[in-house]
A and B are shown apart, each in its own frame.
Chain A
Amino acid sequence: MTAELFSQYLFAGITYGIIYAIVAIGFNIIYNTTGIINFAQGEFVMLGGMIAISLNTIIPLVPAIALAVVITMIIGALIEIIFIRWLDNPSVLRMIIITIGLSILIREVALHIWGEGVRSLPYFNGNEISSIKILEAQISPQVLWVIGICGIMVTLLSIFFRFTSLGLDMRACSANRLAATLCGINARNMVTFSFMLSAGIGALAGCVMSPITYTQYDCGTGLAIKGFTVAVLGGLGNSMAAVAAGLLLGIIEAFSIGVVPLAFQDAISISILLIILFVRPNGLFGCNETANLKEF
């Protein structure tokens, strides 16, 4: 493999990997506050992209994206308020089925609004043929946008959870919901907020990736599976590990293109998911002892 091809694959891997990481973090945020895996997580990404594309026909790119993120956050909050908030201690099976149902509904609504066609936002800089040369590889400037914006998101999130009082409140809820409630934290609002937050970061990722990967009404499912793979790979609930795991999966996928036919790409990452679930269900960085005590 030439150095040029190598870095080409590497950048492709990082680009996809960081998007998977964002989806995985979306899973983790909701999982941490509620213990639910939101199977509709991928749909937030799709919605963000689609709404921004539609808005961009009437307003400029940046406000379109900002508005799309806000709208998706509102949708996320509404979903939590309408479908989740009032359920009293629902079983895991019930929550799985409800969020799967939601993902189908969102997808079908998107199908009826935007049709089956493939859409995309314009490139933030230049167009599809403009490129920058880094480490021998020809990289689209959009790749840098994706890596940059997702990188900033991850950094801001980690600062948010570590240093802001709202972030600490959310972590308190995840550690012990009852105790957090007793300390005066409104756990219910935290859950709503976690849905908004994960919808928001998903939507933003959906916008920045749209020019490269395109947006289609059913692109959420694949992303959700990859995102979940990454979340499990890093250890469910551990967002920083998810970034490492996301990059790992993205790079593995990118380099496997030369070896495995494109049609089996998904099968690769799902096989990784299955193997991880069977062999190290607590993630690459997780501790088996503590994970045995967790309820999945």
Chain B
Amino acid sequence: MTRRNYIPIMLFITAVIGIQLITKFTGTNYYLTQLTMTAYYSLVIIGLCLVMGYAGQISLGHAGFFAIGGYTSAALTTCNLTSLFKNGNSLVKFLSSQGMLIKSQDLYGDPVLYVNPWLAAILAIMLTVAIAFLIGIPVLKLKGHYLAMATLGFGIIIFRIVLATEIFGEADGISEVPGFTLIPGVSVNGNFDNRIINYYIACGIVVIGIILLLNLINSRVGRALRAIHGAEDAANAMGINTSRYKLYTFVISAVFAAVAGIFLTHYNGGIGPSEAGIMKSIRYVAIVAIGGMANMWGALTMGVILNFMSLRGMFGSYDDAVFGAILIIIMLFAPEGLLRLAIWQKFFKKNDSAQ
């Protein structure tokens, strides 16, 4: 981590701790639930910010990757393998002997045997990587409108699949997803007494995520990405394998979305088809745009604020309309993002010269 990134990360961590303390002393602990969810959504947003802002590719299908992660993990951990185990299915036996299955009891005391969330998460991420590669190779050859439509189309296909497939619970989604025990005693789930620890888990993942991405942006790869964004043919002539760089960036951001999907699903104890919807994808794009495309911290800040407000129901029945309006207003008046408006620029310039 370079020194330039060090200070904002410290500020962010301080803010995370500060908010928790405030909620503690004001007795508003219940805010932590939405803040935890917000943190996971922010993970999708910073990943998308890498693709849109730094690699210069629009993706209108990122909710699809979120859903792939969440649904795969949910389906694997809610599938009761007890009968297969009793019938002597060799795969189930093997997994069980390797400690990859977890035994518990359901509400009625019947035995439940399900895939260890760690294994489920790893499989979900592997599936995401595979799909991101498969879809990315052809899609990233496209530009502009075609790229937008192709990614939108991908998102809709995923949405239709989860909506029409029985194992994904069709319109109801998957519920009763068990908690994700990270280490003994620390579990990602929605229990009220786990609220604080889960808040810190979520924020910790975001911190790790943003450190990884900031490192990447400031590395040789990040420089190459900016070059591709600036002048693709010149970048190619300088020896940068532009299509591979775009593809890997796309895959990384898909994994970020999938990880968010996995954790949020365990936290909420379920996932529904609306998580895969087009509006979700567009919302992610909107937040990145408001943050200022190539501005990781801007995207994160806006992601936290807007998602939190939305989850608290502050926009009421105008939720989608608010995001639509924000998209238009930002793109009309501040295409560089809210934080890059001329007023702010002046403010920051003054600060710089004072130093």
Contacts and interface: CB of A to CB of B under 8 A. Distances in A.
Direct A/B contact, Cβ within 8 angstroms: yes
Contact of B328 (A105, A266, A278, A281): A105
Interface in A246-281: 261, 263-264, 266-267, 270-271, 273-274, 277-278, 281
A84 to B, nearest CB: 9
B324 interface: yes
Contacts of B156: 225, 266-267, 270
A180 B154 CA distance: 38
A11 B155 CA distance: 30
Contacts of A97: 285-286, 289, 327, 331
| Dominant secondary structure of chain B at its interface with chain A | helix
A92 B149 CA distance: 13
A96 B282 CA distance: 11
A98 B143 contact: no
A225 B320 contact: no
Contacts of B146: 232, 277, 281, 296
Given A94-B335, A98-B331, A105-B321, A296 B150 contact: no
B278 interface: yes
Interface residues of A, number: 41
Contacts of A261: 164
B35 interface: no
A261 B164 CA distance: 9
A195 to B, nearest CB: 16
A101 B145 contact: no
B45 to A, nearest CB: 15
Given A104-B321, A295-B144, A296-B143, A278 B149 contact: no
Contacts of B149: 37, 225, 228, 232, 273, 277
Q: Residue among B141, B163, B318, B332 with the most chain A CB within 10 A?
A: B332
Task: Report the 5 A-B pairs with minimum CB-CB distance, sorted nearest first.
Answer: A104-B324, A263-B164, A101-B327, A108-B321, A101-B328
Interface of B: 58, 60, 138-139, 141-146, 148-150, 152-154, 156-157, 160-161, 163-164, 278-279, 282, 285-286, 289, 317-318, 320-321, 323-328, 331-332, 335
Interface of A: 37, 39, 83, 87, 90-94, 96-98, 100-105, 107-109, 112, 221, 225, 228, 232, 236, 261, 263-264, 266-267, 270-271, 273-274, 277-278, 281, 295-296
